[in-house]
Amino acid sequence: MVYVRGDSVRVLMHGGKPRTVQAGRVTPKRESKALSVEAPQLRSLADMVAPMQRVYDSGIRPVPKPVTLRSEPYLAYVRKHPCCLCGASPSEAHHWSHHGGVMGSKVDDYRTVPLCTKHHRHWHDHGTLPGMERDASDAFFLRTQRALLEERAAWADDGDIVDGLIRAIGGQS
């Protein structure tokens, strides 16, 4: 803190002793900033709420967070299949997305393919399947996923959502 009294300046350093210096001996550094700060304008609660109320009254609503579809029966169904790349069993249900991963968000359970532990680890280490570029890996996953979804009689309870999913990835329904 800085106090100016008459022709002297009293400086109180945080955690230190206060010092008093004659104003004529104080020379500002070139990079020093002004010490005066304007008091913030205090607004009433009504003034702060009014813009939000106008937006609410206009019918504009926040975009809801996307819902991630979950299906334990489908995941169990995927795990029963051998690795889609090498045919090894047992396999893991690998969640994939051609949009790239976003930390903290998981893709739908319907976006899974069976991968053995070795190929699952390779995917997470390299972002591709062995011997393939990213686009080819994504195309391979899409074909595998489409085939698994189309065998819906083996795992599906609700045909409406399944038909919508199959159409969404470009399959026949």
The average confidence (pLDDT) of the chain is 75
On whether residue 51 sits in a domain, the answer given is no
Q: Which domain holds residue 94?
A: 72-168
Looking at the domain assignment, is residue 40 inside a domain? no
Helices (H), 27-157: 45-57, 72-79, 117-126, 134-150
pLDDT of residue 39: 57
44 is a domain residue: no
- In the chain, the number of structural domains is 1
Whether residue 10 lies inside any domain: the answer is: no
Instruction: Please report whether residue 105 resides in a domain.
Output: yes
Instruction: Assign residue 104 a region (left: φ > 0; alpha: ψ between -120 and 50; beta: otherwise).
Output: left
In a domain, 58, yes or no: no
DSSP classification of residue 152: G
Q: What is the pTM of this model?
A: 0.53
CA dihedral 49, 52, 58, 61 (to 10 degrees): -140
In-domain check, residue 42: no
User: Strand 2-5 and strand 8-12: pairing?
Assistant: antiparallel
Give the separation between CA 40 and CA 33, rounded to whole angstroms: 19
Per-residue model confidence as pLDDT tens digits over 76-95: 889 999 999 999 988 999 98
